[in-house]
Structure 1
Amino acid sequence: MRYLPHSDAERAEMLGVIGAANIDALFSAVPKSALKSFDLGLPAHSPEFLVEAHMRALAAKNRAGADGPFFVGAGAYRHHVPATVDHLIQRSEWLTAYTPYQPEISQGTLQMLFEFQTQVAKLTGMDVANASLYDGSTGTAEAVLMARRLTRRNKIVLSGGLHPHYRDVVRAYLKDDADLEILSASPEGQGDILDHIDENTAAIVVQTPDFYGHLRNVKTAADAAHAKGALLIVVITEVVSLGVLEAPGALGADIVVAEGQSIGNALNFGGPYLGLMATRKEFIRQMPGRLCGETVDADGQRGFVLTLSTREQHIRREKATSNICTNSGLCALAFSIHMALLGEAGFTRLARLNHAQACKLADALAGVPGVEVLNKSFFNELTIRTAQPAAQLIERLAERGILAGVPVSRLEPTNPDVANLLVLAATELTTDSDISELCVALAEELA
């Protein structure tokens, strides 16, 4: 939305100071197609209650995930978030807290971040975790840059099963880097990424479970990378999977990046989300973001401080490991509260319940004529091939009140081989009746 000074004199003065010929010159960098010159249809000069009524009418056109069967995943998952989480994060001392520059008045925030780091390190099986990043996709790009600094090599190999959005973010970070090698995606499996590792490879990036839901052999990938002096970056979009899968750190991963949205954070129309990053102790000084540590004060009492802050907000730009200037602190708090409520046993039960519902979904889909389940392994997400284009099928199922997943063609629009592929997720909120309703509707539409 444009801000315009009230009078012509004020406009002229402002334009003169910044050296712009006219108001339109301020927006010359914005593509013409992105400029909104039409009326947005909002009521003009209306009382507050009429504006509220208008906005409620607009909101009523949305369909929430809880309004019916919901199988959407592909990097963002619908899980139950206890009411306690929302209640606690809205306390004023949390909701208004910012970067804890002064530890003497920020002990609560610092302790929370310290506990959060401890949880993430334990989940991933790594030595140390930072105090969170923006989200999983930017965290992946930061891990790639970190690997290049550590190895002083340039080549990065992205597995074909890496989420397309994550792949695009890495490409944007590296821009026109000729040493970025992106393997082609395969719904049946990622192919052999190990054949692409050489002496110039800084890191290989493997997602598990991958975009199509397949589980990857992290140990084999780690051994192959290390044999060539490269690092292994493991990406996890569904952090709940760590409740049943062996921690990637125990399997040889060097850097682990995850999207933490599944714990404590609702879908929220796409954000804000939460980037998790953990690594080995020897790599700590090249880890982006910031790190909270435990110490003692002048009286010998336990206290918390920012131990490392290697970002340009704290140090010279040329020495910074990242230009990320925030850490999604409120989302990290929600994650930490939810994890504390679950506990280790509760987190494991949650993961097992997710997998159990996904098994029911896979078995039911296998019995639908015109549907082929492609996964031999999965956690709570899987891919099917349908007898009709998935994007059109999804729209027809949505008209029947079923949000049946994500057509791969939506994320890979230039790849004709994925037109009939559909990625579906099941969580603890997926009921047996949801699965039955989906399969009945699928059978009817495919008939």
Structure 2
Amino acid sequence: MRYLPLTADDRAAMLAAVGASSIDDLFADVPPEARLDGPIAGLPLHASEIAVERHMRRLSKQNLAAADAPFFLGAGAYRHHIPASVDHLIQRGEFLTAYTPYQPEIAQGTLQMLFEFQSQVARLFGTDVANASMYDGSTACWEAIVMARRITKRSKALLSTGLHPHYRSVARTMAKYTRDMLVDGDPTLEAGTDWAALAAAVDKETSCVVVQYPDILGRIDDMSSLAGACQANGALLIAVVTEPVALGLIKSPGEMGADIVVGEGQAIGVGLQFGGPYVGLFACKSKYVRQMPGRLCGETVDANGKRGFVLTLSTREQHIRREKATSNICTNSGLCALAFSIHMTLLGEAGLRQLAAINHGRAKAAAAELANIPGVSVMNDSYFNEFTLRLPTDARATVHKLAEKGVLGGVSLGRLYPDNDALANGLIVAVTETVTEDDIAAFAAALKEVLA
């Protein structure tokens, strides 16, 4: 029996309260081509539990999983080796079943974990303070933009063309309701970033400049001069990091003057999982801490002088000062943050640096091998574990042909920028420590055959 607690009159009253004439009006912002006009194709309308299980298993076998093929996909989500101890520890009952520390005095373990997580993120990003996580990197990026508006009292944000297009899309969606003005554009297949042009464009109306580091094409640049231009004009510099492992080898954004550093923490401790859940990272300079969204955990002492942890600076929409909330973010990705923190602890500083060095070394080997293929060139002058290839033909079709040969050979720029023909031949290739010499050889052989 279906559970439908609302009557037709109840639904009509609710629709009237929000000014909608029908339930369909609630989905007006969803493009028609993205809406279902009937049952999902390929799924039976009714079946026994056993039959459904068998049917879903057959469907799942159509996937080519990361562990089942040479894997070179990246562009914001990365395959790294995650020690088995990470999964074992996050499944402990006191972590797995805990929701949120509304009574912090009896949730000391959860609060201590979040405090340690914050400390790790702040050190990794080179900032003074970090919060107890966000939903994911894209929403963290948007929260940074509106945080900059609150601080500067301005509403024009300059977005680097090297910012991930999905992050840019989230910002555009939210800006429709806040009326922030976003100035952005698509990247070009060039070795250099657009940061010099951004520095020249900063003016007294600019609230912030948003750059990705390394950017969507894998390029790395020094943001110090850009930070200086922002500071001179009263704007904030926001750095977005989608591959935190890179910071084991390259200078942190905070060291180069970034005011707010955000990003995606999935690469450390959290598997790809066909798209989520992931964990957003958010950090900033201490002078902006009261404008930071989400929640923060602090360290203190109790009445007996014993070390303890508290939930602090939580001006969130569901708390008593909700009219002064900095965000409607009302939780944190606690379990994924725990996985991040455990993996980071197991690595330690030396381990992270070693892991980063292995990633870069494998990427260099792959770039050299792939550049030997006729018609293929590496666009980047600098990169960490991800670089962009220029192919002699459409990269999107090439990716599909590679998959037919059992190789997941990167992310085509045509997929990320479907309306920009100038990027159609670009292919983003990510190479982590999970890639072997045999994987690189298989990729090179398949790509050579497909392009022949």
TM-score (norm 1): 0.94
Instruction: Indicate how the Cα distance of structure 1 residues 141 and 21 shifts in structure 2: closer, same or farther if over 3 A, else same.
Output: closer
What is the identity, as a one-letter code, of the residue corresponding to 1:425? A
Q: Contact between 2:279 and 2:333, CA under 8 Å: does it hold in 1?
A: yes
Give the drift of 1:30. 3.4
SS of 1:19's partner is: helix
Aligned counterpart, 2:7:
14
Distance 1:49 1:107, change over 3 A: same
Change (3 A) 1:3 1:405: farther
Aligned residue number for residue 313 of structure 1: 318
1:211-249 deviation per Cα after TM superposition (whole angstroms, max 9, x unaligned): 000002111211111111211111111000000111111
Whether the 8 Å contact between 2:114 and 2:297 is mirrored in structure 1 is: yes
Asked if 2 retains the 8 angstrom alpha-carbon contact of 1:207 and 1:216, the reply is no
Aligned to 2:77: 76
Distance in structure 1 (CA, Å) of the matches to 2:439 and 2:342: 29
**8 Å CA contact retained: 2:127, 2:254:** yes
Q: Aligned pair in 2 of structure 1 residues 28, 284: CA closer, same or farther (>3 Å)?
A: closer
Structure 2 Cα separation of the partners of residues 41 and 68 of structure 1: 26
Matched letter for residue 182 of structure 1 = D
SS at match of 1:346: helix
Q: Distance in 2 between matches of 1:65 and 1:437?
A: 15
Gaps of at least 5 residues in structure 2 are: 16-20
In the TM superposition, what whole-angstrom CA distance separates every residue of 1:113-154 from its partner, at most 9, and x where no partner exists? 000000001101100000000111110100011111111122
1:385-400 aligned at under 5 Å gives the runs 385-400=390-405
Work out the CA distance in 2 between the residues paired with 1:39 and 1:118: 45
Match of 1:190 in 2: 193
Instruction: Give the stretch that moved more between structures: 34-43 or 134-143.
Output: 34-43
Letter matched to residue 168 of structure 1: S
Give the equivalent residue in structure 2 for 1:128.
Answer: 129
Q: Which residue of 1 aligns with 2:329?
A: 324
Structure 1 residue 415: Cα displacement: 0.7
Sort the Cα spacing of 1:38 and 1:190 in 2 relative to 1 into closer, same or farther, 3 A.
same
Per-residue CA deviation, residues 291-323 of structure 1 (Å, 9 max, x unaligned), is 000111222211101011122122444311110
Residue equivalent to 1:245: 250
For 1:409 and 1:315, locate their aligned partners in 2 and report how far apart those are by CA, in whole Å. Answer: 47
Deviation of the 1:250 alpha carbon = 1.3
Q: In structure 2, which of residues 262, 274, 277 is the aligned counterpart of residue 272 of structure 1?
A: 277
What corresponds to 1:336 in structure 2?
341
Cα deviation digits, residues 261-293 of structure 1 (max 9, x gap): 000000011111111011011100000001000
Q: CA deviation at 1:18?
A: 2.6
Residue 29 of structure 1 deviates from its aligned partner by: 3.2
Aligned: 1:402 with 2:380: no
Structure 1 residue 138 corresponds to structure 2 residue 139: yes
| Alpha-carbon separation, structure 2, partners of 1:159 and 1:242 | 20
CA distance in 2: counterparts of 1:36 and 1:105, whole angstroms: 49
User: Is the Cα–Cα contact under 8 Å of residues 315 and 321 in structure 2 kept in the other structure?
Assistant: no
SS in 2 for 1:271: coil
More displaced, 270-279 or 186-195? 186-195
Superposed CA offset, 1:34-91 (max 9, x none):
1342365445664433332222112111110011111000000011111111111111
* Alpha-carbon distance, 1:178 to partner: 6.3
Show the counterpart of 1:53: 54
Mapped to 2, the partners of 1:296 and 1:178 lie a distance apart of 42
Cα-to-partner distance string for 1:386-414 (whole Å, 9 max, x where unaligned): 01100111111100000101110111111
Q: Work out whether residues 162 and 215 of structure 2, in 8 Å CA contact, stay in contact via their aligned partners in 1.
A: yes
Structure 1 residues without counterparts, runs of 5 or longer: none
TM-superposed deviation, 1:21: 12
Distance in 1 between residues matched to 2:2 and 2:156, nearest whole Å = 45
Q: CA deviation at 1:185?
A: 1.3
> 1: distance between equivalents of 2:24 and 2:172?
26
User: Which position in structure 2 is the counterpart of 1:434?
Assistant: 439
CA–CA distance in structure 2, aligned partners of residues 35 and 387 of structure 1: 37
Question: CA deviation digits over 1:1-58, x for unaligned, max 9?
Answer: x9564xxxx8xx7002232799x94344336651342365445664433332222112
Counterpart among 9, 27, 31 of residue 30 in structure 1: 27
Give 2:104's aligned residue: 103
Q: CA deviation at 1:203?
A: 1.0
CA contact (8 A) 2:156 2:181 kept: yes
Query: Secondary structure of the equivalent of 1:292?
Result: strand
Say whether the 8 Å CA contact 1:69–1:438 is kept in structure 2. Answer: yes
Q: Which amino acid aligns with 2:151?
A: L
CA contact (8 A) 1:20 1:26 kept: no
Alpha-carbon separation, structure 2, partners of 1:440 and 1:40: 37
Aligned length: 439
1:425 alignment partner in structure 2? 430
Distance 1:103 1:35, change over 3 A: same
Q: Which amino acid aligns with 1:90?
A: Q
> In structure 1, what is the equivalent of residue 267 of structure 2?
262
Question: Does residue 209 in structure 1 map to residue 214 in structure 2?
Answer: yes
Q: Are 2:237 and 1:232 aligned?
A: yes
Paired residues of 1:210 and 1:216 also in contact (CA < 8 A): no
**Separation in structure 1 between the aligned mates of residue 360 and residue 237 of structure 2, nearest angstrom:** 26
Q: Tell me the equivalent position of 2:286.
A: 281
CA, structure 1 residues 28+252, in 2 after alignment: closer, same or farther (shift >3 Å)?
closer
